[in-house]
Structure 1
Amino acid sequence: MVIAVRTVLGDVAPGELGVTDAHDHLFFHSPQLPGRELADAAAARAELDAFRAAGGRSVVQWTPYGLGRRAADLPLLSRAAGVHLVCATGLHQAVHYDQEELAALRGRLAEVFVSELTTGIGPSGVRAGLVKVAGGFHGLDAHARWTMRAAAEAHHATGAPVAVHLELGTAALDVLDLLCGESEMPPHRVILGHLNRFPDPVVQREAARSGCYLAFDGPSRTHHATDWRMPEAVRALAEAGFGHRLLLGGDTVVAGARSVDGGPGMPYLLRRLRPRLAAELGTELVDRILTDNPAAAFATDWR
């Protein structure tokens, strides 16, 4: 059995990832964000260069099926920038898709996920390294349940980790009930995103206690608690014995948020957030969160 992280250039040993942005986007477009698409390959390259210059070595892109992943561009960018890239399959919330497109996936969603994890994404041949799905606001609608069941089926077929967008950070326990309870996924193969957007320490501890990974991703936008409560939340989880279950990411989703376009972008994670957390938690723990934890979260015994 070989444990590996599936990057766009092939499987690599987990220890090769180095400092990792565990949740971000190089390309992304959605009808919910008109005119703000991440669609410029040159800007994506510049952003990766800036991230590497700040000390970054790997980026996990959570952009799923149908939202402009540009999978064929990712190997070229990875080689040129010298940064490992992990690509996602999966499906976002229904509002991001045309209803006819969703209807065409009925009855074969898990099959699509498995194909993109094992054979590759379309003619690019790039294999995805995780499945990304999404919950709803304080609950799971029929679309979320459909996509999550398909994601769990794909996990059981391939071993792939499943990363979950929590809407405004909510419904974490509902997600775990479905994936790890009903669908019998091992918790350590589940990554919950955006926990920082709903800073409830009780929910965070309960989720961590399950054995899943908790991703604190994205600098503050409208939710001002995102930044100033993050160090306290991360410290509390670490002190409770869950430091090995924490991940950090940038979650750049619109063009104006890129550092090369004047936003915080990927380098913010290392330029600003890393020293802030190190002052609270110590350099050793923050280094583990940026290196050891993503290496474990995104590595699996591929089937």
Structure 2
Amino acid sequence: MVNRAPADEPVAPASPAIRTVLGDIAPADLGICDAHDHLFLRSPQLPGQELDDAEAAAAELSAFRAAGGAAVIQWTPYGMGRRAAELPRLARESGVRIVSATGLHQAAHYSPELLTRVGADLAGLFVSELTEGIGGTGPRAGMIKVAGGFHGLDRHARQTMTAAAEAQRATGAAIGVHLELGTGALDVLDLLCGTLAVPPDRVILGHLNRSPDLVVHRAAAGAGAYLAFDGPSRAHHATDWRLPEAVAALADAGFADRILVGGDTTTAGARSVNGGPGMPYLLCRHRERLVRTLGADLVTRFLTANPARAFAADWARAPHHSR
């Protein structure tokens, strides 16, 4: 049985809606949102730093809630330890709305055997997890996560993005894109929105802060995509000190409605409960710095109205897709 919202969970009266692990909600009910983060994550690229402790995830959500947070979008895709079965309980106990992801990351995060197994019908897999449930019986995913490469798109990226585009057409779901070190945004848009005809406002480009190229930022926002600025930096990226400048430049150019912010916690050591910045940093530090530059009203839009619009989809109107 696919997990649905309990009686006390608000349900969107009509599309568009945001698909959380407890069911669909009206966009206006999302609240203050961390638009890109991870409660669970496992990869051979991060040995010994797995996010796989459910109680640590619960503590992190509690800390985020105490800082004023109301929703988290978990961008962990298929095959990377999403722990989807844990998410409904964590959402109920914390009071934080959680959106889970389907999709695939870069090939380096998977075994060749897994990629061969799922490669025959990636679009079908994505659609099934969005509409039926993760694993067939778990909560439904509410977005699609894919990934580009460093300043380019390899064959795997093109394959997964092609499948994501098909799944997007079948469901209306937003596509979140990991940009390697923040690069390749325009290549991604050329493929997804040009060749594959995905509406630009269904694309969310992640890690733009890691490549603070203001010309590219304006071009991507001008095309109609959402831009996710997430951090803090874990490798001396220009994330922190350039963030207010980059976001202010976009807002001044008329693209304040395209901006999302998130935390992107990817290692156990980065969790606030383990002494790192974790999810609360978004609201306790990043928000504070942005408010000083842009004012509270605009930053509140980045945290509420923008993600509510970016992650909403017309699920009820999605045509049936057979695997």
Query: How does the TM-score come out when normalised to structure 1?
Result: 0.99
1:182 aligns with 195
Tell whether the 8 Å contact from 2:129 to 2:136 is kept in structure 1 after alignment: no
The answer for the alignment partner of 1:4 in structure 2 is 17
Instruction: Tell me what 2:321 maps to.
Output: none
Q: Mapping of 1:1-303 within 5 angstroms? A: 2-302=15-315, 303=318
Mean Cα deviation higher: 167-176 or 224-233: 224-233
The structural deviation recorded for 1:101 is 0.6
> What is the rounded CA distance, in whole Å, between the counterparts of 1:173 and 1:223 in structure 2?
24
Secondary structure at the residue paired with 1:6?
strand
Q: What is the percentage of aligned positions where both structures have the same residue?
A: 70
In the TM superposition, residue 223 of structure 1 has moved relative to its aligned partner by 3.0
Give the conservation status (yes or no) of the 8 Å contact 2:30–2:308: yes
- Code of the aligned partner of 2:30: L
Q: Which runs of 5+ in 1 are unaligned?
A: none
Give SS of 1:21's match: strand
Give, as a single letter, the amino acid of the residue that structure 2 aligns with 1:167.
E
221-230 vs 70-79, which moves further: 221-230
Unpaired segments ≥5 residues, structure 2: 1-13, 319-323
Q: Deviations over 1:276-302 (max 9, x none)?
A: 100000000000000000000000101
Deviation string 1:50-102 (CA, Å, 9 cap, x unpaired) is 00000000000000000000000000000000000000000000000000110
Moved over 4 A (4+): none
CA contact (8 A) 1:52 1:81 kept: yes
Secondary structure of the 1:60 match is strand
Could you list the per-position Cα deviations for residues 182-234 of structure 1 after superposition, in whole angstroms to 9, with x for gaps in the alignment? 11000000000000000101000000000010000110121341100010000
Counterparts of 2:128 and 2:212 in 1: how far apart (Å)? 36
User: How far 1:123 sits from its partner (Å)?
Assistant: 4.8
What is the number of residues matched between the two proteins?
303
Contact 1:193 1:216 in 2 (8 A): yes
Contact 2:209 2:230 in 1 (8 A): yes
C-alpha deviation, 1:166, in angstroms = 0.1
State the AA in 2 paired with 1:146. Answer: Q
Q: Which is worse superposed, 104-113 or 236-245? A: 104-113
Q: Residues 242-289 of structure 1: CA distance to partner in whole angstroms, max 9, x if unpaired?
A: 000000000000000000000000000000110110000000000000
Q: In the aligned structure 1, how far is the partner of 2:80 from the partner of 2:118?
A: 15
Q: Distance in 1 between matches of 2:172 and 2:89?
A: 26
Whether the 8 Å contact between 1:72 and 1:124 is mirrored in structure 2 is no
